[in-house]
Copies of this chain bind each other. A is one copy, B any other.
Amino acid sequence: MIHRIKGGVTAPAGFLSSGVSCGIKKRGKDLALIFSERVATAAGTLTTNALKAPCVLWTQEVLKQGVAQAILANSGNANCCTGRRGTEDTKRMAQWTAQRLKVQPSTILVASTGVIGRFLPMDRARRGIAHTVQTLSKTGSLCAAEAIMTTDTRPKEIAVRFTSKGHPVTLGGIAKGSGMVCPHMATMLCFLTTDAQVDRITLRNALQTIVADTFNLITIDGEMSTNDMVLILANGASGASPIRQANPSYRDFLQALRMVCRYLAHEIVRDGEGVTRLMTVRVSQAASSKDARQVASQIANSLLVKTMVAGRDPNWGRVAAAVGASGVKVNPAHLTIRLGNILVFRHGEPTRPGHERLLAQVDQPEVQIGVELGAGSAGSQVLSGDLTEGYIRINAKYTT
């Protein structure tokens, strides 16, 4: 039994957190710290963008050793495309944090999010780091969740608990998303903590399995960030016996991780820039998982499908056009398309169910689009949002 409990990254035993405002952003909290009182095993999935920010490269190195003790994250500045100085700045962020925490710099995971191509204001960051360490607390998760927000309208956190041989094991997480979100290796910022005892190989496998299934299946605008990461720290403070892939407890752990990641992934889309309604695209009967994902992604990222959902317009021909444009071999005679639970196209023919019935399918807070390719048995599902004037308003004036 896995149940949701209050809180976020500080719900598991042995984790403290804080979030402060240090002036990297014009207003609001912009620096978050998550600290494990003991050394934790660490795993992560990082952006596959070719222009990785220095913090991604730094964090990649830390993850190689598979142990870490803290995550420092700033919003308002991605510290990307900032050259040698950017690399130096990330290193100093880790060093200053390590000094204050009295740990090794090589145990500090660093994340940044925000505008690309600007230098970090390091004097402010230094004071901010001191402040985050001073304010670390058992109730700091919400502050940390707020401090990683960019155009997000609300903080995102969750914690769940299950029992492993009588010991309660807790898993918590915070995330930010909003724009530049698309299914790729990693997607946005998400920090997870657990007091389970998990070795680094098991932790990495579990994270990769669940990320592929949750964060990699959401999209807001088809954009891939230079700074995305999902990180997890497991400190073993629950006292429960170690979780290994062979044990039954692994299944519980995986399920708890999926619950946390799925919740945060949905929250990211729900709070996507300008998003008013969600759309779930399910593709089945594909010749391969790759085909299924490619078709689902083409539909979920189609501006015409997204504006159709925004306008509550059952114009399913746009879904058909996106299927055909996906590059996947499609036989129209074997293709089936559904809006909600209504069949609209099958055996090469429109079913013409009537406008009123179709209207009811798109006039939903979460619109369901189903596509069967009739070519095999593979499937994929992508969660996306509609595209509204809100997205344009936000992004036409993000830096200025």
| A binding-site residues for B, Cβ under 8 Å | 49-52, 78, 80-85, 115-119, 179-180, 184, 221-226, 302-304, 307-308, 310-313, 315-318, 320-326, 328-330, 332, 335, 344-345, 347-350, 387-389, 391-393, 395-400
Contact among B49, B84, B322, B349 for A84, CB-based, below 8 A: B349
Q: How far is the CB of A288 from chain B (nearest CB, A)?
A: 16
What residues on B are CB-neighbors of A303 within 8 Å? 221-223, 303, 391, 395
Query: Counting chain B CB atoms within 10 Å of each CB, which of A51, A180, A397 scores highest?
Result: A51
Q: How far is the CB of A54 from chain B (nearest CB, A)?
A: 10
* Residues A330 and B396 in contact, CB atoms below 8 Å apart: no
Bound together, the chains give a CA A389 to CA B393 distance in angstroms of 8
What residues on B are CB-neighbors of A308 within 8 Å? 395-396, 398
* Residues A223 and B315 in contact, CB atoms below 8 Å apart: no
What residues on B are CB-neighbors of A310 within 8 Å? 392, 396
Contact among B313, B325, B399 for A399, CB-based, below 8 A: B313
* Residues A224 and B117 in contact, CB atoms below 8 Å apart: no
* Residues B395 and A321 in contact, CB atoms below 8 Å apart: no
* Residues A117 and B302 in contact, CB atoms below 8 Å apart: no
Bound together, the chains give a CA A315 to CA B347 distance in angstroms of 48
Copies assembled: 2
* Residues B223 and A50 in contact, CB atoms below 8 Å apart: no
Q: How far is the CB of A283 from chain B (nearest CB, A)?
A: 14
* Residues B350 and A320 in contact, CB atoms below 8 Å apart: no
Bound together, the chains give a CA A43 to CA B262 distance in angstroms of 52
Chain A: interface secondary structure?
loop
Q: How far is the CB of A397 from chain B (nearest CB, A)?
A: 5
* Residues B399 and A392 in contact, CB atoms below 8 Å apart: no
* Residues A117 and B344 in contact, CB atoms below 8 Å apart: yes
Query: Counting chain B CB atoms within 10 Å of each CB, which of A116, A179, A335 scores highest?
Result: A116
Q: How far is the CB of A139 from chain B (nearest CB, A)?
A: 35
Bound together, the chains give a CA A52 to CA B91 distance in angstroms of 54
**Contact A350:B392 (CB < 8 A) given known A49-B324, A115-B317, A180-B321:** no
Q: How far is the CB of A324 from chain B (nearest CB, A)?
A: 3
What residues on B are CB-neighbors of A395 within 8 Å? 303-304, 307-308, 311
* Residues A321 and B400 in contact, CB atoms below 8 Å apart: no
Query: Counting chain B CB atoms within 10 Å of each CB, which of A315, A317, A344 scores highest?
Result: A317
Bound together, the chains give a CA A115 to CA B316 distance in angstroms of 10
Question: Can you name 13 A-B pairs with beta carbons within 8 Å?
Answer: A50-B323, A50-B324, A52-B324, A82-B349, A117-B315, A117-B320, A222-B303, A223-B303, A303-B395, A311-B395, A313-B400, A389-B393, A392-B392
* Further pairs besides A81-B332, A84-B349: 8, Cβ < 8 Å: A50-B326, A78-B317, A81-B348, A82-B349, A116-B316, A223-B304, A303-B303, A389-B393
What residues on B are CB-neighbors of A180 within 8 Å? 304, 321
Q: How far is the CB of A222 from chain B (nearest CB, A)?
A: 7
Nearest residue in B to A325 (C-beta to C-beta)?
Answer: B224
Nearest residue in B to A221 (C-beta to C-beta)?
Answer: B303
* Residues A226 and B320 in contact, CB atoms below 8 Å apart: yes
Q: How far is the CB of A137 from chain B (nearest CB, A)?
A: 34
Nearest residue in B to A321 (C-beta to C-beta)?
Answer: B226
Query: Counting chain B CB atoms within 10 Å of each CB, which of A117, A180, A312, A323 scores highest?
Result: A117
Query: Counting chain B CB atoms within 10 Å of each CB, which of A179, A313, A396 scores highest?
Result: A396
